[in-house]
Amino acid sequence: MVSMTDSEAYPPIESYGVVGNLETCALVGPDGSIDWFPFPHLESPTIFAAILDHDRGGRFRVAPTDAFESERRYVGDTNVLETTFRTEGGTATVTDFMPPAGRVDDPKKVLYRKAACAEGRVELGVDLEPQFDYGRTEPTIEPVEDGILAAGAEERTLLEAPIDLAIEDGRVTGDLTLEAGEDAWFLLRCTGAEDASTDPEAALEETIRFWTDRAHTCGADDCTFAGPWHDEIVRSELVLKLLTHAESGAIAAAPTASLPEDVGGVRNWDYRFNWLRDAGFTVQALLNLGTTDEANDYFDWFMDLCQADEPAAIQPLYGLHGESDLEERELDHLEGYRGSRPVRIGNGAVEQRQHDVYGELLLAVDEMCRHGRTLADDEWVRIRDIVEYVRGIWTEPDAGIWEVRGGDRHFVHSKVLCWAALDRGIAIATDGDFDAPLDAWRETRAEIRTEVLERGYDEDVGAFVQSYGADALDATALLFPIVGFLPFDDDRIQGTIEAIEAELVEDDVFVSRYDGDDGLPGEEGAFVLCSCWLIDALALSGRIEEATARFETLLEYVNPVGLVAEEIDPESGAHLGNFPQAFSHIGIVNSALYLGYVRGYETPGPAPMGIRLGDPIVDLEE
């Protein structure tokens, strides 16, 4: 137990900001405390993890010693975060950033914190509590010539500060008073950067320039993402770029581990990996934002994985360097965010069979090809092998997209994504004149379609259900017209949308993933991505004003600096799950894309998925 109330010890998840260097990320709380920082990579053990245990996790705080109010913002269209503190005596801002790895001259393994007083006089307190390896390694802390050095078994951090610092009981503390116009730098040098030369102001300028040059820009009158949500789309793009690993091109699902989907419960997972199921919609979002380099790097990364593994060995998720061993473990010594235990690292879903993965991969390949990517012969061989594999396994049960832990089932979404794998394989082979057993593929595609319509649609429910023989609904059915399985004006699609609205939607905008049993106790919040899927389905069904209103309402729950978690509590509006969540931001980008298209804006490339495949029932000439 902690010595203060949970609300005092653990700030709301949505109150955090995030910075990073394209290898790792740090979460910065509203009180100026860095409460999460794995190093050297996102999936590495932590230096600070107070967000998972206030007492044992470790933190690095720079904040006023007097009572204060704070507000946050990013510097323009960058991932440089400012926290402004207002006290009775004055106003000071702490600026946090890390230079992007391999993209700027300054050392990538340095976390910079600049404190500057804008008016009056502000006394700042410094509190550094390094806790290496999720708090399992007690560091040695000692003064050195350039500051304070903390060392673990293999890790080292050197805090450079312009003040004298005291060491007591594993903590480093100090005070600094700034007058208006004065500033001070705190540099946390991590392993490998202890002796690197630095110019903090130059590092800040170069980091700002890096992100500014790579943020989405457009003409105000012709942007596909035009609308009152344009700034949120740019921030979502910057989040996706921040979660992209500089070396591999892989995109992490989130920078955090074990933030709860049910506060106080057991639904706590490690999301610092890449899920292949995200591929299709990720590529669509990146390409339409104009971030073609990131899309190509991501494409190359997962194609290399497909080359390394036989189709049967392809996993649902991988480490950001392609690691396949992601054993799930529990950290019993950590109490978890507001008592949410167990705290997990690694992810047991790596061992699951998820057949939808193959459809997502083919959707991504098709999207790349439609945007001008030419497949090499060896790439086509990998793709053909995947489609052939799907022909042999589509009749088998699997764990499904939501990775339920209650046993394999015949999930309807998995069957439809197997259909999509065949469908896109046929299209790619035909358009590229590649060698393929097209007649056999068409036959299997037809078999899947027939079975899904017979066993996946429930006449009594009036909708597609989650799995064969069940009456539970699942929000993944909103994707069926978008991937082209049926057109939007099909009565079964419209009935499914209506059933989901009636059973899975709360307050028009909050959408649950499903209403069936998943083998776990507790209840989760509404899934942001599913809210986006509903908005997409409504927009492409001709209900444009309604879709627009729901999208604008959803964006009201994005935090003040434009970040959103995996889920939202419909009752309180609190964010739940890992944060910020890539899939949530991908959903926001793609919803804006669809809304832009149905409102008459042209996309920079071919029509997005769902427009060309789902046969939207909107008059785009109006």
Q: Does 157 score more than 50 pLDDT?
A: yes
Q: Does 3 score more than 50 pLDDT?
A: no
The boundaries of every CATH 1.50.10.10 domain in the chain are 215-598
Residue 434, pLDDT score: 97
Strand (E) or helix (H) holding 567: strand 567-568
Share of the chain above pLDDT 70, in %: 95
Q: Does 131 score more than 70 pLDDT?
A: yes
Of the candidates 584, 620, 582, 614, the residue with the CA atom closest to the CA atom of residue 601: 620
Residue 621, pLDDT score: 39
Share of the chain above pLDDT 90, in %: 84
Residue 7, pLDDT score: 59
Q: Does 1 score more than 50 pLDDT?
A: no
Residue 145, pLDDT score: 87
Place of tokens 């307190």: 125
Instruction: Give CA–CA dist 344/64, Å, rounded.
Output: 34
Residue 5: pLDDT band (50, 70, 90) is very low
Residue 222: pLDDT band (50, 70, 90) is confident
How confident is the model over 376-383, as a mean pLDDT? 95
Residue 620, pLDDT score: 43
Residues 6+ apart with CB under 8 A from 264: 338, 339, 340
How confident is the model over 533-558, as a mean pLDDT? 97
How confident is the model over 521-530, as a mean pLDDT? 94
Contact 141, 150 (CB under 8 A): yes
Residue 530: pLDDT band (50, 70, 90) is very high
Residue 226: pLDDT band (50, 70, 90) is confident
Residue 102: pLDDT band (50, 70, 90) is confident
User: What is the residue-averaged pLDDT of the chain?
Assistant: 93
State the SS3 of 100-169.
CCCCCCCCCCEEEEEEEEEEEEEEEEEEEECCHHHHCECCEEEEECCEEEEECCCCEEEEECCCCCEEEC
Task: Please state whether the peptide bond connecting residue 580 to the residue before it is cis, i.e. omega within 30 degrees of 0.
Answer: yes
Residue 500: pLDDT band (50, 70, 90) is very high
How confident is the model over 57-69, as a mean pLDDT? 97
Q: Does 515 score more than 60 pLDDT?
A: yes
Q: How many residues are recorded in the chain?
A: 622
Q: Does 619 score more than 70 pLDDT?
A: no
Instruction: Give the CATH number of domain 6-213.
Output: 2.70.98.10
Instruction: Give CA–CA dist 186/547, Å, rounded.
Output: 46
How confident is the model over 523-528, as a mean pLDDT? 95
Instruction: Give CA–CA dist 320/347, Å, rounded.
Output: 13
**CATH assignment of 215-598, among 3.40.50.1820, 1.20.840.10, 3.30.70.920, 1.50.10.10:** 1.50.10.10
Instruction: Give CA–CA dist 184/216, Å, rounded.
Output: 32
Phi, psi of 201 (to 5 degrees): -65, -40
Q: Does 340 score more than 80 pLDDT?
A: yes
Q: Does 260 score more than 80 pLDDT?
A: yes
Q: Give the pTM.
A: 0.96
The boundaries of every CATH 2.70.98.10 domain in the chain are 6-213
Per-residue pLDDT tens digits for 275-301: 998 899 999 999 999 999 999 999 999
Instruction: Give CA–CA dist 156/135, Å, rounded.
Output: 14
Residue 27, beta-bridge partner list: 18, 36
How confident is the model over 64-77, as a mean pLDDT? 97
Per-residue pLDDT tens digits for 356-373: 999 999 999 999 999 999
**For residue 423, how far is the Cα from the chain centroid?**
28
Instruction: Give CA–CA dist 362/350, Å, rounded.
Output: 20
Residue 195, pLDDT score: 65
Of the candidates 289, 419, 415, the residue with the CA atom closest to the CA atom of residue 363: 419
How confident is the model over 226-246, as a mean pLDDT? 95
Residue 103, pLDDT score: 67
Residue 25, beta-bridge partner list: 20
Phi, psi of 506 (to 5 degrees): -125, 135
The token pair that represents 329 in the structure block: 């473990």
Residue 191, pLDDT score: 81
Q: Is 471 helix (H, G, I), strand (E, B) or coil?
A: coil
